[in-house]
Structure 1
């Protein structure tokens, strides 16, 4: 039988989660330093976009496999293995920098490996949440998660920027390894409930194949009303806003003549907005018309994206304000969406469903990353950002107006139970 989340498992999850925040801080500091190093060393949008392309591509390739594995093996052991491998690759990167062997190709390989490990880490961590957190706390814990994630993302650029003033990159990279060991302590001390399928042996056995379990995830995805529509919309939006992930550092350094401090300054507004949005999400217990709220928040977020795109040269405050608007709405969108998935999908299928959903949503993001470099050279980075946001608004309005998504009811407990029941009845 599947273990039920209770007060004890909830306390264990909080302990585990606190350690993960330290690990996230180390990873974000390293990612900031690498992003700045590429932009400052090469000042080439093609290379900046290439780094993002490889990271997203490896994530998309590996995440469906990772999701199935997360539902079949000991999740605690899986997290320990992939996090240890990630820390080891950071150690290797330190050696390359220390001995003067670092170049863009080494960075590409490092980011690709890091992406593989994250592809296993993310669905596994997401899948354990409903096994350790009671259902009545899911929405709020998702909001709190975004709150503290925002705090970490606020601190990381400042820490990275300040450390760059005094230290070489290879010394700063040790932060990632130190925070890995901090996160390892609670992970070793807690028990993460195992999810075993014992009531469905008629279609899943100990020798069940990966293909069958992947197919089960696809069938589960299709049974959730509106999810395919939301996934396609996410795919388009991720494609359109991918340039900001690839080119933001270059946008600040090259377009606006800034430095690492300016990147940290504008990031403060974005993550400050995320923190405010996460606080709002955490304290608001009940959400009515969830789909409508998600769509409105998407449009407002895209408007914020367009605002910082058209900021006059050197207007870092305007860039920051646009980022704050974008950041405020992301926790609302993602928290409502994740809560719905965690409520509707049985725990033993959540790993693969989450990974498949994420993979499909990001399926054409590598194309966006690949195109963002040449398009930035052709149009300029500000115009590329602006037109991406504008097209995103049109896509969102089109999906709301011309599909049945606005009729989907995510507020009905009986509807969620009906969906859950249908998913439980799936056979291969």
Structure 2
């Protein structure tokens, strides 16, 4: 079994190469996604179709996540990534042929979105687990920060590139990007082996119920239940209101599409800035800092709602601060989990996290969408984060969430937390659980 400190320089170099090719593939996919959404909006002019398209992408990911987590932990990770990438490329190629024959219909596009969502459901837990398997522990936070920077840059660039592509090429020509970007990714995955942490012998029968149960048991016994509940609550209460930003800008502040564009750009610039700050910081990521950043996010959202009408410079600053804070939350959370969760369980735990957190998104969107029909948009931007702050305080007071991961890999923190009997018991439980897994 690979320990947290036994990552070779060769594995790290391999990770960098995989990292680069995965981002090339992601750029192609995001440009294609932008083009597809625009094509659907332009050809149907239906908000219902766009909602169905989103559901077609998200729901398959949620459904397959429990199974994909077990598969990510127990099977060859190279093979999982290659098969899922190849399936997406093949489905895209079939759709290109249908367009070429002038027989492509709306349901063909929705099926493709469903296939892409399913494949991403298998890819996500594998992709997240690559970092602790192939990156030395001391570099994990920096790698996650770089990952966040790349994501932000892609989020800034892909709409612009997508707009140029839409005005220059047909939708079937744009689809070729998905096929072409698959090739370098597949070649690299054939050449560079991702380390395995499975204890199963070849020919052993995999029990999905048992394997999935191990992941759920770890979540329950390690104290992650309250952590996941916190972020599920945030996705239910706070995250949906981010989709209402256009209404706050256009309705309350009487802004234009230019103002909205600046908000999007400054938000991503803030994400990049926050990631750079984390890269340069030598401070260890902790759950305490994640939760503090989460509470600060709610405070900033309330402040954003209180910005005087038309005071754009202040609104822009608040959006940039939101981006910085979200980078702090995402990067630090991922770093804490990747360092603390046993590597042989990470696929299952991250898949469960995705299912628990993302499954509430559609419900939150519907609820806040209905409330928004009868409530001023400014009130929603105050009420939602205020509820979130109350939930944070309840979870902090009645759970050990703040101390998750403190006992792992940091003696000074463990020593400090030993004054709290509950945390000490949690640390013992984690150690016992990991020992039991290694012995099994």
TM-score (normalised: structure 1): 0.83
* Partner secondary structure for residue 147 of structure 1: helix
Kept after mapping to 2: 8 A contact 1:54/1:366: no
Matched, 1:300 2:311: no
Q: Cα 1:184–1:333, aligned 2, differ >3 Å: closer, same or farther? A: same
Which of the numbers 225, 236, 239 marks the counterpart of 1:228?
Answer: 225
Alignment deviations for residues 58-79 of structure 1 (CA, whole Å, 9 cap, x no partner): 2221111001011111110110
My pick for the range that moved more, 358-367 or 344-353, is 358-367
Matched, 1:394 2:390: yes
Q: Cα 1:65–1:407, aligned 2, differ >3 Å: closer, same or farther? A: closer
CA distance in 2, matches of 1:371, 1:109: 27
Kept after mapping to 2: 8 A contact 1:55/1:112: yes
CA distance in 2, matches of 1:410, 1:94: 51
Aligned partner of 1:60 in structure 2 is 62
Alignment deviations for residues 133-190 of structure 1 (CA, whole Å, 9 cap, x no partner): 1222222211222122222222112212333344444433333333222333322321
My pick for the range that moved more, 370-379 or 13-22, is 370-379
Alignment RMSD, CA only?
Answer: 3.6
Alignment deviations for residues 82-122 of structure 1 (CA, whole Å, 9 cap, x no partner): 0111223333444566637443x444433322211111001
Q: Cα 1:224–1:78, aligned 2, differ >3 Å: closer, same or farther? A: same
Kept after mapping to 2: 8 A contact 1:43/1:254: no
Which of the numbers 408, 411, 433 marks the counterpart of 1:422?
Answer: 433
Structure 2 stretches lacking a partner, 5+ long: 415-425
Kept after mapping to 1: 8 A contact 2:240/2:361: no
Alignment deviations for residues 369-393 of structure 1 (CA, whole Å, 9 cap, x no partner): 4545555555577765664344333
Kept after mapping to 1: 8 A contact 2:304/2:318: yes
Structure 1 stretches lacking a partner, 5+ long: none
Kept after mapping to 2: 8 A contact 1:240/1:368: yes
Which of the numbers 188, 191, 209 marks the counterpart of 1:189?
Answer: 191
Which of the numbers 237, 242, 259 marks the counterpart of 1:240?
Answer: 237
Alignment deviations for residues 218-246 of structure 1 (CA, whole Å, 9 cap, x no partner): 11112323x11111111111122453576
Deviation of the 1:41 alpha carbon? 5.4
Deviation of the 1:123 alpha carbon? 0.3
Matched, 1:276 2:273: yes
Deviation of the 1:48 alpha carbon? 3.9
Q: Cα 1:275–1:329, aligned 2, differ >3 Å: closer, same or farther? A: same
Q: Cα 1:409–1:127, aligned 2, differ >3 Å: closer, same or farther? A: closer
Does 1 or 2 have the higher relative contact order (CA < 8 Å, sep 6+)? 1
Matched, 1:267 2:269: no
Which of the numbers 214, 217, 221 marks the counterpart of 1:216?
Answer: 214
CA distance in 1, matches of 2:377, 2:113: 23
CA distance in 1, matches of 2:53, 2:243: 7
My pick for the range that moved more, 343-352 or 249-258, is 249-258
Aligned partner of 1:142 in structure 2 is 144
Kept after mapping to 1: 8 A contact 2:274/2:325: yes
* Partner secondary structure for residue 196 of structure 1: coil
* Partner secondary structure for residue 74 of structure 2: coil
Which of the numbers 329, 333, 339 marks the counterpart of 2:335?
Answer: 339
TM-score (normalised: structure 2): 0.81
Aligned partner of 2:352 in structure 1 is 356
My pick for the range that moved more, 269-278 or 358-367, is 358-367
* Partner secondary structure for residue 425 of structure 1: helix
CA distance in 2, matches of 1:94, 1:399: 50
Kept after mapping to 1: 8 A contact 2:300/2:318: yes
Kept after mapping to 2: 8 A contact 1:143/1:335: yes
Q: Cα 1:62–1:369, aligned 2, differ >3 Å: closer, same or farther? A: farther
**Structural mapping, 1:1-20, within 5 Å:** 1-2=1-2, 4-20=6-22
Q: Cα 1:208–1:85, aligned 2, differ >3 Å: closer, same or farther? A: closer
Q: Cα 1:408–1:355, aligned 2, differ >3 Å: closer, same or farther? A: closer
